[in-house]
Amino acid sequence: MTEQEIFNKVKDIVVEQLDVDADKVKMDSDIKEDLEADSLDVFEIMNELEDELDIKLEADEGVKTIKDVVAYVKKEVEAK
Amino acid sequence: METIKVVKTASYVPAKVVTNDDLSQIMDTSDEWISSRTGIKQRHVSVNENTSQLCFNVAKLLLEKSGWDAASIDLLIVATMSPDSYTPATAALVQGKIGAHNAIAFDVSAACSGFIYGLNVAEKFMGSSNTACKRVMLIGGEVLSKVIDWSDRTTAVLFGDGAAGMLLEQQDDSESRFIASSLHTYGELGDKLEAGKTEALTAFPMTGEHQIKAFSMSGRDVYKFATHKVPLSIEEAVAKAGVTLDQVDYFVLHQANSRIVTQIAKRLEQPLAKFPMNIAEYGNTSAASVPLLLDELITNKTLKRGQVIVLSGFGGGLTVGTQIIKY
């Protein structure tokens, strides 16, 4: 998967989970600060990514921005 | 055709209310943190009343509401993860107190799925010509406050005490009936949620005291388990029942966390309005939560005769169970 494909997937899930507009979700968006997610939301986003991409993710991997999530997912997809 | 009817429901919670603000006085937490992550605003905590007492109070209410003679009850089941003792069973204590001397009585231990497992056991006893139980009293009751680790803020804020139950009767002419069920157990995940764990002796003669461990839970694992396995269990039961999710009037789910319920609704693509909740008032009352909510829906006339409901529990074991009933 390319970074763009992963970003699109993350964006879809974030929009659905957090009920935010798609154009608010950018690579440098801070998930908690800009998108107003709490720790359970981040956990849910990770759960959804795990289900859709068949990978294992830790919810407390220290991800802060969407870019962090995309990089973390990309690493796990490539390690699969 | 003989079918099983839910005749009456009743509930009882201890008088003492502990709010999130009360908890923030004794541990590092806040109302905002608890309510935004769990939907809980307060819980009832039992002082001096053990599980059998809460269940006895429900049993008395059930007999009053129905006019049934206690001696007419054939089977009395209590679903609990916090019994008064290893033995006698809490159900036996209740049976003795209400004078249901013709009833066989035992507990079902399936934690937060306990009431659903109990419904299933009751159905089997009622359907068997061997046992021929016509009238059943089923109660879910918990005093979780006695097993909670009050120094662990991640679990202590989640739980509450209470009891609720129902009377079931086999009837010839009723349109009410049990439609289908789905039960699953995932014992390999048992250590994700433990309470009252004991240890074998490390030597004989024994040294030291008997140890019983307080409640512990891997919240994230259980959360993930619930949001994945409950929709599967409901879909399996619905398929067996030959109904569609759209034909279900209400989904009465175990009240563990409002966000779990919201996720399950989302995964089933059903409107959240069909998922009533009362967790704000009671917290997670384990085996009592499904009947507690059901009794509320019947009392406030939200649920009407003839409507189809999905009852679903999930938790320690780990277990999950769904029962579909035409009320």
Task: Give the pLDDT of residue A17.
Answer: 87
pLDDT value of position A57: 86
Tens of pLDDT, residues A1-56: 888 999 999 999 999 889 899 999 999 999 999 999 888 888 889 888 988 899 98
The boundaries of the domain holding residue A42 are 3-79
The region of weakest confidence among A55-59, B188-192, B251-255 is A55-59
> For B45-79, what is each residue's pLDDT tens digit?
999 999 999 999 999 999 999 999 999 999 999 99
Interatomic CA distance for residues B144 and B46, integer angstroms: 9
Chain B (211-230) residues lying within 8 Å, Cβ to Cβ, of chain A? 220, 223-224, 227-228
Task: Please list every residue in chain B whose beta carbon sits closer than 8 Å to the beta carbon of residue A42.
Answer: none
The torsion region of residue B36 among left (phi > 0), alpha (psi -120 to 50) and beta comes to alpha
Dist. CA B131–CA B147, nearest whole Å: 35
For residue B263, which residues of chain A lie inside 8 Å, CB to CB? 44
Strand ranges for B26-134 from DSSP E: 42-44, 75-79, 104-108
Question: Is the ipTM, as predicted for this complex, more than 0.90?
Answer: no
Mean pLDDT score across all residues of chain B = 95
- Quick one: pLDDT at residue B58? 98
> CA of A50: which chain B residue's CA is closest?
B224
* CA closest to B257 among chain A residues: A40
Question: B38 CB near a chain A CB, below 8 Å?
Answer: no
* Closest approach of A9 to chain B, Cα-based (Å): 17
Say if CB B248 and CB B310 are below 8 A apart.
yes
Residues of B in contact with A39 (CB under 8 A): 37
Segment among A56-70, B34-48, B161-175 with least mean pLDDT = A56-70
* Residue B259 sits at the chain A interface (C-beta within 8 Å): yes
What distance in Å separates residue B294's CA from the closest CA in chain A?
28
Nearest to B141 by CA among B87, B84, B102: B84
Contact A25, A64 (CB under 8 A): no
- For B73-97, the pLDDT digits (tens) are 999 999 999 999 999 999 999 999 9
Q: Which residues contact B122 (CB under 8 A, 6 or more apart)?
A: B4, B75, B77, B133, B136, B138, B168
Residue of chain B minimizing CA distance to A59: B220
A&B contacts, CB < 8 Å: 15
pLDDT at B129 over 90: no
Q: What stretches of chain B adopt beta strand conformation (E)?
A: 3-12, 17-19, 42-44, 75-79, 104-108, 135-142, 162-171, 177-185, 193-194, 216-217, 250-253, 308-315, 319-326
B267 CB near a chain A CB, below 8 Å? no
CB contact under 8 A, B220 and A59: yes
Q: What is the pLDDT of residue B35?
A: 93
Q: Tell me, what amino acid is at B169?
A: E
| pLDDT, tens digit (0-9, with 9 covering 90-100), for B262-306 | 999 999 999 999 999 999 999 999 999 999 999 999 999 999 999
Our CA-based measurement puts residue A24 at a distance from the nearest CA of chain B, in whole angstroms, of 22
Q: Residues of B with CB below 8 A from A59's CB?
A: 220
User: Strand B216-217 to strand B104-108: parallel, antiparallel, or no bridges (unpaired)?
Assistant: unpaired
Q: Is the pLDDT of residue B178 over 90?
A: yes
**Higher-scoring residue by pLDDT: B132, B179:** B179
Q: How many folded domains does chain A comprise?
A: 1
CB contact under 8 A, A47 and B36: no
B112 is a catalytic site residue: yes
Among B176, B140, B248, B138, CA closest to B4:
B176
What CATH number does the domain containing A61 carry?
A: 1.10.1200.10
- Does residue A40 belong to the interface with chain B, where contact is any CB pair within 8 Å? yes
**E strands in B74-129:** 75-79, 104-108
Q: Residue A43: its chain B contacts at CB < 8 A?
A: 220, 223
What confidence tier does B20 reach under pLDDT thresholds 50, 70, 90? Answer: very high
Per-residue model confidence (pLDDT) at position B127:
84
Known catalytic residue at A38: yes
Beta-carbon count within 10 A of B319 CB? 27
Domains with residue ranges and CATH for chain B: 3-174 (3.40.47.10), 178-326 (3.40.47.10)
Task: Please check whether residue A15 touches B, CB under 8 A.
Answer: no
pLDDT band at B321 (very low <50, low <70, confident <90, very high): very high
Confidence tier at B128 by pLDDT (50, 70, 90): confident
Q: pLDDT by residue (tens digit) across B211-236?
A: 889 999 998 899 999 999 999 999 99
> Rounded to whole angstroms, how far apart are CA atoms B222 and B320?
11
